[in-house]
Amino acid sequence: MIKADLKEFLDEKVVQYNNPRFIESDPIQIPHLFSKKEDIEIAGFLTATIAWGNRKMIIKNSIKLMELLDNSPYDFILNHHEKDLKRFDTFVHRTFNSVDTIQFVKSLKQLYIHHKGLEQSLAIKDNTTNYRTAISNFKELFFKIPHQQRTQKHISDPLKGSAAKRINMFLRWMVRNDNCGVDFGIWKTHNPAHISCPIDVHSGNVARKLGLLKRKQNDWKAVSELDHNLRILDKNDPSKYDFALFGLGVFEKF
């Protein structure tokens, strides 16, 4: 397709999938259970963290995790005592186990007490136009307190080449305001123009078929290449095309 035709096609797919019906089958439904900003972002972050594998299982385990947080994640994170962490002993999602869950609860507490929370901790602070260094700096900050080495694998580092799919998805949820009731747009200090489209198997394959991506690996170089091409199509809201690429791949088997 030539660029104009491709943009028209993808814009139509964005409209098709970027609407409240999308929520029904997507992990984004978990933060939509809440109305308080901090509850939304904590629920979104934890859900995005375990968002790999079967989508129904992701949703099921995310709901279980919210229940373990008394369905009040911010209050639990801020005010829990050591004895309250015992409840997570049986929680597991694939390789994310109770050790990781407890560490995430503790690390989130120190982010909110000492670093003004998730929004400030993930902010771009080096005048770049993507989250590559911001995500890497966030990971370093997140694991400043004592932790087991195994838990570090659950936050990706773009400076080490990772596509950081789950954090990019979480950033889309928090930063992008779609006026459709799907993405939240509650992080007003961030710029939607800087978000990268999350790359997974589905969106990556569709992007390659459409000529938006040539790189074969789903790594940060692929993210940068896709960034460049999607920003040509819409420089202010490039990550909206995640709905198109993902929808074409998952729902239409494009």
In percent, the amount of the chain with pLDDT more than 90 equals 96
Which of 95, 177, 168, 173 lies closest to 134, judged by CA?
168
Contacts of 77 by beta carbon, 8 Å cutoff, 6+ apart: 42, 69, 105, 108, 109, 112
Whether 139 contacts 151, CB under 8 Å = no
Per-domain residue ranges of the chain: 3-250
Distance of alpha carbon 153 from the chain centroid: 15
- The yes-or-no verdict on residue 187 having pLDDT over 80 is yes
Mean pLDDT computed over 179-192: 97
Q: Give pLDDT tens digits for 74-104.
A: 999 999 999 999 999 999 999 999 999 999 9
Report the mean per-residue pLDDT for the chain. Answer: 96
Contacts of 159 by beta carbon, 8 Å cutoff, 6+ apart: 132, 133, 136
**pTM for the predicted model, two decimal places:** 0.96
Q: Give pLDDT tens digits for 111-156.
A: 999 999 999 999 999 999 999 999 999 999 999 999 999 999 999 9
Confidence of residue 4 (pLDDT cuts 50, 70, 90): confident
Confidence of residue 253 (pLDDT cuts 50, 70, 90): confident
Mean pLDDT computed over 170-195: 97
